[in-house]
Amino acid sequence: MSPERYLRIRSALAKRQTDLTVCLENVHKPHNVSAVVRTCDAIGIHRVHTVWEEKYQFRGDTAMGSQQWVRQTNHDSLGNAIGALKQQGMQVLVTHLSDTAVGFREVDYTKPTAIIFGQERYGATDEAIAMADQDIIIPMAGMVQSLNVSVAAALVLYEAQRQRELAGMYDVEHLPEEECQKLLFERGYPRLCALSKTKGVPYPAIDDIGRIDAPASWWKQMQLTPEALHALSDNDEAVSTRA
């Protein structure tokens, strides 16, 4: 990894908003999922949440994996997803046309916020609507009453970005250094990262110009075969037990 790439990654990670996220409920078309996640990366969202019913399951990990800079958490149920988000102190919004809905620009996105976007054809489920804290709408003057989910997500998220920029929230680092180190290694050294995962070797530290800061023993482990590493681990355990 060059020093220039290191600085570029560091700059992006410094702006990550860990208390702003989206939850995709049964959004299953590949181009929609990828477009939403690209928008999340563009405005600095660190993690997205997903819920898929069995009938909508398809290549979920593949679609998310195309966006290497945004983490994904998949939940078994919407209740689990919203419960986890509320435990983090987030206000949960859902895009839904109702008598109590407010325009998406009327919401305070400087608060910890999660936004639910529902399935392409049917929108958010009754469960999502019941569990959310607030329904939001995107005002429209035409004949249609809905937008493509990726377009709707982009509009809402860029309003959130606008408010947060005005509040100076992009000038404060939110992402823990431990997570920054993981991403620096994973995205700065993809081949070594894959090898590290295959062999079960812990990630090394990355120094302040983007170089791997690891002792000779780490490099030696990386050169060993998985079988040799396993044998070495077994031997260390045996020595520890005898001691």
Q: Please report how many Cα atoms fall inside a 13 Å half-sphere around the Cα of residue 99, on the Cβ side.
A: 0
The 3-state secondary structure of the chain, one letter per residue: CCHHHHHHHHHHHHCCECCEEEEEECCCCHHHHHHHHHHHHHHCECEEEEECCHHHCCCHHHHHHCCCCCEEEEECCHHHHHHHHHHCCCEEEEECCCCCCEEHHHCCCCCCEEEEECECCCECCHHHHHHCCEEEECCCCCCCCCCCHHHHHHHHHHHHHHHHHHCCHHHCCCCCHHHHHHHHHHHHCHHHHHHHHHHCCCCCEECCCCCEECCHHHHHHHHCCHHHHHHHHHHHHHHHHHC
Q: How many residues does the chain have?
A: 243
Residue list for the binding site: 95, 138, 147
Residue list for the binding site for S-adenosyl-L-methionine: 95, 138, 147
